[in-house]
Amino acid sequence: MSEYRNKLFSTAKINGLELRNRVIRSACFEGMCPDGYPTDRLIELHRELAEGGVGMTTMAYCAVEPDGRMRETMMYMHEGIRPQVEKLTRAVHEAGAKISGQIGHCGNFSQNRKLQGKRPLGPSAMINLSGIPYGVPFAGAMTHDDIDRMVQCFHDAALFMKSAGFDALEIHFGHGYGLSQFISPKTNKRRDEYGGSLINRMRYPLRALEAVRRAVGNDFPILGKMGLTDGVKGGLKIDEAIEVAGLLDDAGIDALIPTGGTSSMNPMLLFHGDSILPGLIAVEENWITRMGMRIVGPSIFKEYPYKELYFLDGAKRVRDRIKHAKLCYIGGVSTMESLDAVMKEFDFVEMGRALIKDPAFVNHAMADPKYINGCDHCNRCATLIFSRQGIRCVSNDKQ
């Protein structure tokens, strides 16, 4: 076994947390909370990943308050779901792995008709294109009081999640969600101390990080998923993204996960490979949304042919900029050769589709140096996030 493979399967720490290996299941939204509550299917998914050998699995998209959900069928952190969440974290621990929770807020592109605030809020007032078919066409600008309240929501959600058994938290600073909307010059048009220069645009995200740290303590691991580029005109670009990484590092984040793209404006940059547009149209139940997808979808869902390690160059630039945080690579890792290349450069690796294809990837790779995963990057798994079944590998259905 190569030295890099030995490193991959060796124990490693993020802050005070020791993982049994360096493979982390990325926060791929599972779509298994149809009524906003974690289901037994969600629990079994993460139990299976833990039994399959990952060092840590990540429960995707844990909204910090009710209006932080894109749809009402997503979770937000509150005492009403404590029994289910504790059952989930306990199942992962019993299988020998650790569990992280991705904490975030959707900001201004909610499709949730049950918004307590009546309309989604972000850095600036704008049309909410993704919310039009659901009767949520306009987004407002957050006031200073709104920002203060949201910082408290991050604190309270983090406090709840730690108490419910999570071993780490991953703050979502990317993919066009709420914190990313403040970071990106495309969506942040403010003229106060929360807009304009990068340090101003980072003010609210850094306050959210500080609030989470205050809630969980100095020894508890906090990871951050950050964008390398929005992939849209006027959006965040790589040079500024490197400075974002530096600011998060200086603020005491424990690990960074550099990614790219935006869910609402350029989602295929996240995935590469086959377009998810046809599959999203097929499972969408709202006919207005289906029609809109057919009309505007081709301009949003751009073509990015799949290649292994497609965020490698950007991730190396982040690694060279940060001084304290660990670097967790994500983006096109499905072969043993790619894992060797990642371990040569970075501390940890996050995997999504390859673990959807085979939740026992780690066990199989440890047993067979020539293991072949078989994920063909068709991306049909990603099209099922809002379906009734939830996410799964469609190719496995045929076997």
* Residues with catalytic roles: 177
Could you give the residue ranges of the DSSP H alpha helices within the chain? 3-8, 40-51, 82-94, 144-163, 178-183, 198-201, 203-216, 238-250, 268-271, 277-283, 287-300, 312-321, 336-345, 353-357, 361-367, 394-397
Nearest Cα residue to 247 out of 217, 278, 224 = 224
* Angle ∠(363,368,372) on CA atoms, nearest 5: 90
Amino acid identity, position 21: N
Q: Using the structure block, give the residue that is written with the tokens 């290996």.
A: 21
Residue 349, SS3?
Answer: strand
List residues bridging with 23 in a β-sheet: 349
Rounded to the nearest 5°, which phi and psi values hold at 273?
100, -160
Contact status, residue 99 vs residue 92, Cβ threshold 8 Å: yes
Q: Give the length of the chain.
A: 399
Nearest Cα residue to 105 out of 160, 39, 157 = 157
Cα gap 308→310, rounded to integer Å: 6
Query: Which pair of tokens denotes residue 365?
Result: 């790779």
Cα gap 132→249, rounded to integer Å: 38
Cα gap 196→11, rounded to integer Å: 43
Nearest Cα residue to 332 out of 391, 273, 277 = 273
Nearest Cα residue to 251 out of 220, 222, 283, 231 = 222
How many helices (H) does the chain have, and how many strands (E)? 16, 13
How far CA 34 is from CA of 13, 29, 75, in Å, comes to 35, 13, 9
